[in-house]
């Protein structure tokens, strides 16, 4: 009987707590206001594939499926679960480490394209066309690196979006202070209809060219730490390959103590690679335009 009473008390308490939770949810609701992504979510972009186009997301998913299969195979061959975990991490981690600096090179190329597009926009707007018509007219000759973004900007303007909202969304897609300068000048022109837009765009295009030259010089100085990242990555792959091909080498790690030692050494080595990679990356650019969320830029 006491056991039944205790069981009834536990169930009743759980039902009371559940009822209180349901009451709070019914009153407050479950929808939360949209917030900017946290730094943690930004660091997890490598795993989520956020910000990629559909083709890149598909390739991203395939890579992680391959990582899972490779990890399972390594576990099966060696009999050590943590070896499978390390191999699974190495599959997506290797291109992440070997391609260090590619994102910065792409950003430099895109900013150079923004400067080129700014010059074309200056020339077209100087023919007497309105700003929105001039933007639409530059779609055909837009640089390939930012062609999709320019085309989307023109489509939004033709679909009836407010000029300021469409331009802010465009700046959010490019994500660089140089593009912010161009967008800020265009937004100011929409409000005051000044006659010196061509001069302003020409000055920004010149400044963009100088910015590109400076960034390329800085990137050239980062070659040494990036070589260190690639060298350490290659050593990691050789170590894993040696362990997989030599069962005697992995035998000590089959014990509980060996598993602990393996996870400690693996974590330290992965942390070292990530730290070395972070030293070769530039700080994130400081933006001065407040980019609204997707819900705030709809027409």
- pLDDT at position 18, please? 42
Name the residue among 125, 233, 118, 220 with its Cα closest to residue 176: 118
- pLDDT at position 38, please? 52
- Can you tell me the distance from the alpha carbon of 112 to that of 146, in angstroms, rounded to the nearest whole number? 10
Residue 260 Cα to chain centre, angstroms: 33
pTM of the model: 0.62
- pLDDT at position 52, please? 54
- Can you tell me the distance from the alpha carbon of 78 to that of 254, in angstroms, rounded to the nearest whole number? 9
Q: At what angle do helices 197-221 and 102-125 cross, to 10 degrees?
A: 160
- pLDDT (tens digit, 0 to 9) for every residue of the chain, 299 residues total? 444 444 444 344 444 434 434 433 333 344 444 444 455 555 455 555 554 556 767 777 787 788 888 888 878 877 778 778 878 887 887 777 777 777 788 888 998 999 999 999 888 887 777 888 889 989 988 899 899 999 999 999 999 888 888 999 998 888 888 888 888 888 888 887 667 778 888 888 888 889 889 888 888 877 777 787 778 778 877 877 777 777 777 777 778 888 888 788 878 878 877 887 777 777 777 777 776 654 444 44
In a 13 Å sphere around the CA of 264, the CA atoms on its Cβ side amount to: 7
**Contacts made by residues 232-236, CB under 8 angstroms, sequence distance 24+:** 232/97, 232/272, 232/273, 232/276, 233/94, 233/97, 233/98, 233/273, 236/90, 236/94, 236/269, 236/273
- pLDDT at position 2, please? 47
- Can you tell me the distance from the alpha carbon of 171 to that of 181, in angstroms, rounded to the nearest whole number? 9
Contact 71, 87 (CB under 8 A): yes
- pLDDT at position 152, please? 92
- pLDDT at position 151, please? 92
How does DSSP assign 140-207, residue by residue?
TT--GGGHHHHHHHHHHHHTT--HHHHHHHHHHHH--HHHHHHHHHHHHHHHH--S-HHHHHHHHHHH
- pLDDT at position 15, please? 43
């Amino acid at each position: 009987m006491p056991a039944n009473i205790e069981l009834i008390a536990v169930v009743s308490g759980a039902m009371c707590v559940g009822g209180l939770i349901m009451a709070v949810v019914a009153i407050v609701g479950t929808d939360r206001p949209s917030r900017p992504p946290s730094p943690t979510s930004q660091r997890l972009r490598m795993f989520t594939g956020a910000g990629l186009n559909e083709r890149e997301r598909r390739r991203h998913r395939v890579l992680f499926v391959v990582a899972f299969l490779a990890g399972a195979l390594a576990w099966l061959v060696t009999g050590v679960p943590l070896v499978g975990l390390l191999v699974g991490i190495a599959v997506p981690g290797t291109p992440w480490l070997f391609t260090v600096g590619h994102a910065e090179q792409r950003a430099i190329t895109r900013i150079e394209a923004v400067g080129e597009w700014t010059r074309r926009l200056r020339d077209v707007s100087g023919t007497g066309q309105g700003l929105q018509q001039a933007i639409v007219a530059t779609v055909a000759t837009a640089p390939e690196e930012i062609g999709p973004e320019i085309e989307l900007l023109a489509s939004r303007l033709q679909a009836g979006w407010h000029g300021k909202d469409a331009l802010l969304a465009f700046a959010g897609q490019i994500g660089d202070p140089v593009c912010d300068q161009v967008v800020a000048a265009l937004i100011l022109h929409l409000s005051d209809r000044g006659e010196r837009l061509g001069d302003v765009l020409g000055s920004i295009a010149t400044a963009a060219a100088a910015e590109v030259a400076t960034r390329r010089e800085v990137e050239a100085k980062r070659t040494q730490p990036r070589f260190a990242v690639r060298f350490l990555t290659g050593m990691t792959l050789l170590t894993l390959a040696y362990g997989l091909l030599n069962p005697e080498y992995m035998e000590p790690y089959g014990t509980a103590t060996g598993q602990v030692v393996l996870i400690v050494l693996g974590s330290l080595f992965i942390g070292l690679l990530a730290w070395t990679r972070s030293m070769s990356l530039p700080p994130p650019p400081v933006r001065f335009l407040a980019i609204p969320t997707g819900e705030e830029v709809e027409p």
